[in-house]
Amino acid sequence: MKKYPFKIAELERLTTDYFEKYIAENPSVVPDTESLAAYLGITRDDLNELEGSKKTSRTVKSAKTKIAAAKKQLAYRGKLPAAVLAFDLRNDHGYRDKPEDLNCATLILRGLAEEWSE
């Protein structure tokens, strides 16, 4: 595994400190993946690598879930533009606008469906 400025065993505590101390003491900071990465002294790419590692995946995914939840609450309250939230959820949290991987067949309705649409 790559060398990081912290011990892997400390990652869970550090992410907890990010939310419970850093964000709590800096209310103007909106939690996000880049802010978390900067707090940890690593890059966004490093954080994504840690998310893909069996040993640290759950910790990083949990932190990203907390970040997404915080941003959704800001958007619901009108403090974060919906477009910014949508971009962030797609970019950092794996959300998609539509199920792109599914093979979908076209459904053609005949008969009464035409009458119902009038």
Per-residue pLDDT, averaged over 38-54, amounts to: 97
Mean pLDDT of the chain: 88
Task: Give the pair of three-digit tokens for residue 21.
Answer: 């101390």
pLDDT at 113 over 60: no
Q: What is the pLDDT of residue 107?
A: 54
Q: What is the pLDDT of residue 73?
A: 95
Q: 61: which residues sit within 8 A by CB, 6+ positions away?
A: 51
- 53 vs 35: CA distance, rounded Å: 20
pLDDT at 71 over 60: yes
Residue by residue, what is the 3-state secondary structure of 93-104?
Answer: HCCCCCCCCCCC
The pTM of this model reads 0.78
pLDDT at 48 over 90: yes
Per-residue pLDDT, averaged over 20-42, amounts to: 97
- 77 vs 57: CA distance, rounded Å: 30
Detail the DSSP E strand segments found in the chain. none
Give 22: exposed, middle or buried? Use CB within 10 Å, 0-12, 13-18, 19+: middle
Q: What is the pLDDT of residue 10?
A: 98
The conformation of residue 63, written as its DSSP 8-state character, comes to H
